[in-house]
Homo-oligomer: A and B are copies of this chain.
């Protein structure tokens, strides 16, 4: 209990995992992220606008950010935490589509854009702090060039990651694909258990376990 309390008072820039950011700190982190990644930094008016447009949300571990059948009302920028996006097939088996960590947008973009019910679930794997935006505020979002630029860049990276994974699933062995994730997204292996990674790679957890033990022997 003492530990949990202490965690709340960890300084913002610390390496130690803090459970909770104050809302003010969430905005600061977001704005600083935008300014370091965009070609032109935000002006004062834009900073004010961002604080109006984005609503902070805390999603506790295991809680849903989006459930199958709902329309995805929010896209959320993850300031701190980890989430997964998955679908559930006829037999109740979960298939992980995406993993999200800090500085990623979480949400089902198709559902969000088209206002159609999502076929995916998104839940928090760790306690997660996000800044969320609704569809209705997109016009204001689009009025901030640096935000648009950042968003495009993140979308592209995200898209790349999936493209690579897709390509890899055809032309590379499972061992090579696992190694690729380990190299490119090492935080995934540290923050998600092996059976989640297996699902992300599109194989049974037993198969990944075996491939890993084979690889170690070599």
Contact = CB atoms under 8 A, between A and B. Distances in A.
Interface of A: 87, 89, 93, 95, 97-98, 109-110, 113, 142, 145, 148-149, 152-153, 155-156, 158-160, 162-163, 165-167, 169-172, 199, 202
B93 A202 contact: no
A170 B199 CA distance: 8
Number of copies: 2
Contact of A109 (B95, B160, B171): B160
B166 A166 contact: yes
Nearest to A155: B155
B162 A95 contact: no
Contacts of A158: 159
25 contacts: A87-B171, A89-B171, A93-B171, A95-B170, A95-B171, A97-B163, A97-B166, A97-B167, A109-B156, A110-B160, A113-B153, A113-B156, A142-B149, A148-B148, A152-B152, A152-B155, A155-B159, A158-B159, A159-B159, A159-B162, A162-B162, A162-B163, A166-B166, A166-B169, A169-B169
